[in-house]
């Protein structure tokens, strides 16, 4: 009896050790497979191309991988997705600086592209030979290009910004609901937008605010500025730039007057305000429509509409970069070019709402005929194409994200919580300067 | 334990012993045999001498690779201006990264937060753990169930736990404010008010670690000889008196151990405040109101990519920990001397 349990225990230990061992071996084997020249995934002789992405790019959802694999039977595509860019980007930087652990294609967010261009371009393939420059929006192409002409990323999408608003809430507050008329109320100036907010708040349905969050408002205003945190020579000027201070003050004013909710975007509590219809308007790039749809209750369907923003801007958009160290770099570059070509971007817009960064796609039926069930019959393709054309060519800098996050999360949000605008600005500046190591 | 025939069988050779089965008087063969035995003996001695080192070497190799090297590299990096985007470009700045810590208000803010959160989480946690352990030490029905249940929070991942707590502590839709509302307390902004946020973070820590400490106490309590209690009872001591005069003194080394472990844990507090932040940044709230040292280190290194500064912070934290360790040691020696 005792002997048998001892034997059994021994067997269990052995099995555990064996399984751990094979796990380790399998781990090694897996790595080897990805790096081997043939890169065989499951069948012999096939090239496996791996993509490292964050959030939802939607390539898979739009069926683009399947389509490409059908066109190129010797290619197998695999993606590895990290939910949030805050977690994805530091790892990407680490992998790039150590030149290991990289996927064949890596996604890069627009907030990080300047840093990638200025610090990592020697690790990345020049994609100007693969993508067609004339296809892309001029500024989008430029954002991923070094001063000496190396293009390190191909644009997947842009975020031309409009304003999404609730027709029912606007009506209850005595505001017009037609998207042309609404756009006219605030055309040309974000101050007018805040004034519309004051009108809204006078007769607002109980418990609602005009806009969703201070972060949403300051982001919208800043996105429509040409120069924000860096000047064109690459110097940090956010403190001296009157446009930044004006955006901060206008947002702070709106927060003090209670026109914006006291929430941080993309957090559970903010999601709940969408579900409970607690605000009437939000700054809204095309991808936001998908987000709204995901968080709304079914009865919100069709109650939203989209109007042009006071000034057009751009919020979001990503790039695909190809690390040189990849064994399949050339194949990967071809795939990246294909995924970001106008035809594919149009398909992606139809399924995923990522707005094309290639103007050629704007006349394709997938874009011109696009509808969204949150916004009823609004011709969203045309509205966003218009916004994309009007968006400024923005100067972007390597630490844009840190500065913007400081202004929002350590700045205007405090005003919504009852601090004075001066205190909030001081807190934001101290935080940003410390983070920039000024 | 030592049985004579065991060692006899294991001993490799006895010089000059008769070699059975060999014809005597063959000097060449005997010489060969002697040399063979000497060789075996040497090998055996070498084996005895060096094998233990081979057996423990994996630990030391791993320690060098993952403990010592990072420590030294961090120290080296802390004397330079280095950015994470180019870790090989190092500019020598001497002790600049250390001296700037003295007037880095964010560092001291983080240090103070770490201290407060450490105190308001460790003290109640250890007291509660002691109480729970005392209760579990009685004969209870289904005591195994309770013991496992107590360890469940410890087994839960911090991420999952913190996310649930974020929802519970929500200002507008959180359950805790809802419950407080029932008894007439206004909504508390758990994430943005300094004290409230620190209490909330401590709650997560307490929830997670109380059961763990309780089990350590329980194990120590069960090692106390029963006859101490019996004689105490004979002397007329009630349960409380028994607890104070028998249980507590016997637990002194265990209490000290948990204090040291909890202090170290508290000074490295990271996951809970990181995940508790509504902004999902590493600044520990909009006004850094619950940014701990660990979080500040992470923010400098991985969010802002200032590798040199982060390394200096890491080394400063290391020195602070050593200081705490020395204080603990002194206190424990005093306690031992007084008892």
Residue of A nearest to B304 (CA): A435
pLDDT of A44 reads: 62
pLDDT in tens, A217-243: 999 999 999 999 999 898 999 999 999
Look at A436 and B171 and tell me if their CB atoms are within 8 Å: no
Say if B84 is an interface residue toward chain A (CB within 8 Å).
yes
Look at B84 and A435 and tell me if their CB atoms are within 8 Å: no
Beta-bridge mates of residue B162: none
Look at B287 and A410 and tell me if their CB atoms are within 8 Å: yes
Mean pLDDT of B165-178: 88
Distances A336 to A26, A70, A71, A105, A320 between C-alpha atoms, Å: 29, 16, 14, 7, 6
Mean pLDDT by 10 residues, chain A (438 residues): 49 51 44 41 75 90 94 94 87 92 94 93 94 91 93 94 95 94 94 96 93 95 94 93 96 96 87 93 91 90 94 92 93 95 92 89 90 87 91 90 93 93 96 89
* H or E element at residue B71: helix B69-77
Residue of A nearest to B306 (CA): A437
pLDDT of B339 reads: 65
Q: Do residues A312 and A161 touch, judged by C-beta distance below 8 A?
A: yes
Look at A409 and B283 and tell me if their CB atoms are within 8 Å: yes
Look up residue B269 and give its two tokens: 């507090």
Q: Do residues A157 and A357 touch, judged by C-beta distance below 8 A?
A: yes
Look at B304 and A268 and tell me if their CB atoms are within 8 Å: no
- Which among A272, A410, A427 is the nearest to B173, CB-wise? A272
Mean pLDDT of B296-316: 93
Look at A86 and B280 and tell me if their CB atoms are within 8 Å: yes
Rounded Cα–Cα distance for residues A213 and A251 (Å): 10
Residue of B nearest to A265 (CA): B279
On the question of pLDDT at B201 being above 90, the answer is yes
- Which among B86, B167, B288 is the nearest to A119, CB-wise? B86
pLDDT in tens, B227-246: 998 999 999 988 889 888 99
The burial class, CB within 10 Å (0-12 / 13-18 / 19+), for B151 is middle
Q: Write out chain A residues lying below 8 Å of B279, CB-based.
A: 264, 267, 405, 408-409, 413
Q: What are the two backbone dihedrals, phi and then psi, of residue B77, each rounded to the nearest 5 degrees? A: -65, -30
Look at B84 and A93 and tell me if their CB atoms are within 8 Å: yes
Q: Write out chain A residues lying below 8 Å of B171, CB-based.
A: 269
| Nearest CA distance, B160 vs chain A (angstrom) | 14
Of B85, B304, B73, B281, the closest CA to residue A94 belongs to B85
Mean pLDDT of B141-165: 88
pLDDT of A283 reads: 94
pLDDT of B334 reads: 86
Beta-bridge mates of residue B80: B92
Chains A, B: CB pairs < 8 Å: 75
Distances B222 to B127, B132, B246 between C-alpha atoms, Å: 18, 14, 12
pLDDT of B186 reads: 86
Q: Do residues A318 and A348 touch, judged by C-beta distance below 8 A?
A: no
| Nearest CA distance, B254 vs chain A (angstrom) | 32
Distances A377 to A160, A285, A293, A350 between C-alpha atoms, Å: 19, 17, 15, 15
Interface test with B, best of A114, A420, A437, A438 (most B CBs within 10 A): A437
Q: How many CB atoms lie within 10 A of CB B237?
A: 16
Q: What are the two backbone dihedrals, phi and then psi, of residue A414, each rounded to the nearest 5 degrees? A: -65, -35
Q: Write out chain A residues lying below 8 Å of B312, CB-based.
A: none
Question: Rounded to 5 degrees, what angle do the CA atoms B62, B68, B71 make?
Answer: 135
| Nearest CA distance, A435 vs chain B (angstrom) | 6
Look at A267 and B280 and tell me if their CB atoms are within 8 Å: yes
Mean pLDDT of B277-292: 87
On the question of pLDDT at B224 being above 60, the answer is yes
Say if B186 is an interface residue toward chain A (CB within 8 Å).
no
pLDDT of B85 reads: 87
pLDDT band, very low/low/confident/very high, at B13 (cuts 50, 70, 90): very low
Residue of B nearest to A89 (CA): B303
pLDDT in tens, B57-112: 999 999 999 999 999 999 999 999 999 888 888 999 999 999 999 889 999 999 99
Say if B106 is an interface residue toward chain A (CB within 8 Å).
yes
pLDDT of B300 reads: 92
């Amino acid at each position: 009896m005792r002997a048998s349990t001892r034997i059994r225990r021994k067997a269990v230990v052995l099995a555990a050790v064996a399984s751990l061992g094979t796990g380790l071996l399998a781990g090694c084997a897996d790595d080897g497979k990805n790096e081997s020249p043939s890169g065989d995934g499951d069948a012999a002789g096939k090239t496996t191309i791996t993509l490292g992405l964050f959030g939802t790019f939607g390539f898979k959802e739009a069926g683009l991988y399947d389509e490409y694999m059908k066109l190129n039977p010797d290619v197998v595509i695999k993606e590895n997705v990290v939910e949030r860019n805050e977690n994805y980007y530091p790892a990407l930087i680490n992998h790039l600086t150590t030149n290991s652990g990289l996927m064949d294609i890596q996604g890069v967010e627009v907030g990080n592209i300047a840093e990638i261009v200025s610090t990592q371009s020697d690790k990345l393939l020049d994609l100007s030979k693969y993508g067609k420059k004339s296809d892309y929006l001029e500024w989008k192409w430029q954002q991923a290009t070094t001063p000496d002409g190396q293009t390190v990323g191909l644009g997947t999408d842009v975020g031309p910004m409009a304003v999404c608003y609730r027709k029912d809430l606007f009506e209850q507050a005595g505001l017009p609901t037609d998207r042309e008329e609404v756009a006219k109320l605030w055309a040309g100036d974000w101050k007018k937008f805040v004034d519309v907010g004051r009108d809204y708040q006078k007769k607002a349905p109980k418990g609602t605010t005009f806009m969703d969050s201070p972060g949403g408002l300051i982001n919208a205003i800043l996105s429509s500025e040409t120069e924000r945190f860096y000047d064109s020579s690459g110097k940090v000027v956010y403190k001296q730039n009157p446009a930044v201070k004006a955006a901060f003050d206008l947002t702070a004013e709106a927060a003090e007057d209670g026109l914006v909710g006291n929430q941080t975007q993309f957090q559970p509590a903010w999601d709940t305000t969408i579900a409970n219809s607690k605000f009437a308007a939000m700054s809204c790039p095309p991808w936001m429509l998908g987000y709204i749809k995901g968080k709304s209750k079914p009865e919100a369907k069709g109650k939203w509409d989209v109007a042009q923003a006071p000034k057009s801007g751009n919020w979001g958009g990503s790039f695909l970069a190809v690390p040189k160290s990849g064994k399949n770099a050339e194949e990967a570059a071809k795939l990246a070019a294909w995924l970001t070509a106008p035809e594919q971007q149009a398909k992606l817009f139809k399924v995923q709402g990522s707005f094309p960064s290639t103007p050629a796609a704007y006349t394709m039926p997938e874009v011109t005929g696009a509808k969204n069930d949150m916004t009823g019959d609004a011709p969203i393709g045309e509205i966003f194409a218009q916004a994309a054309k009007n968006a400024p060519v923005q100067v972007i800098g390597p630490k844009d994200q840190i500065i913007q996050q400081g202004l929002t999360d350590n700045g205007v949000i405090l005003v919504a919580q009852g601090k004075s605008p001066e205190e909030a600005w001081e807190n934001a500046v101290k935080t940003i300067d410390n983070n920039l190591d000024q | 334990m030592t049985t004579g025939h065991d060692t006899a069988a294991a001993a490799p050779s006895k010089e000059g012993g008769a070699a059975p089965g060999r014809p005597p008087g063959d000097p060449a063969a005997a010489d060969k045999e002697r040399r063979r035995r000497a060789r075996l003996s040497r090998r055996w001695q070498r084996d005895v001498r060096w094998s233990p080192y081979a057996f423990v070497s994996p630990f030391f190799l791993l320690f060098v690779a993952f403990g010592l090297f990072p420590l030294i590299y961090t120290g080296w990096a802390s004397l330079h201006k280095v950015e994470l985007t180019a870790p090989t470009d190092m500019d020598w700045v001497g002790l600049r990264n250390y001296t700037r810590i003295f007037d880095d208000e964010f560092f001291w803010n983080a240090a103070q937060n770490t201290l407060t959160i450490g105190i308001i989480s460790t003290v109640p946690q250890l007291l509660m753990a002691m109480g729970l352990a005392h209760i579990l030490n009685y004969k209870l029905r289904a005591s195994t169930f309770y013991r496992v249940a107590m360890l469940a929070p410890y087994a839960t991942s911090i991420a999952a736990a913190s996310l649930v707590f974020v929802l519970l502590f929500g200002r507008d839709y959180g359950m805790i404010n809802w419950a407080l509302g029932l008894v007439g307390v206004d909504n508390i902004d758990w994430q943005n008010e300094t004290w409230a946020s620190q209490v909330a973070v401590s709650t997560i820590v307490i929830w997670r670690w109380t059961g763990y400490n309780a089990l350590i106490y329980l194990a120590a309590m069960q090692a106390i000889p029963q006859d101490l209690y019996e004689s105490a009872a004979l002397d007329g001591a009630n349960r409380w008196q028994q607890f104070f005069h028998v249980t507590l003194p016997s637990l002194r080394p265990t209490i000290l151990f948990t204090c040291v472990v909890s202090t170290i844990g508290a000074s490295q507090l990271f996951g809970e405040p990181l995940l508790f932040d509504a902004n999902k940044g590493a600044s520990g709230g909009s006004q850094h109101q619950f940014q701990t040292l660990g979080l500040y280190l992470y923010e400098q290194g991985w969010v802002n990519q200032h590798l040199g500064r982060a390394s200096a912070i890491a080394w400063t934290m290391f020195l602070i920990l050593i200081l705490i360790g020395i204080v603990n040691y002194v206190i424990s020696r005093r306690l031992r001397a007084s008892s």
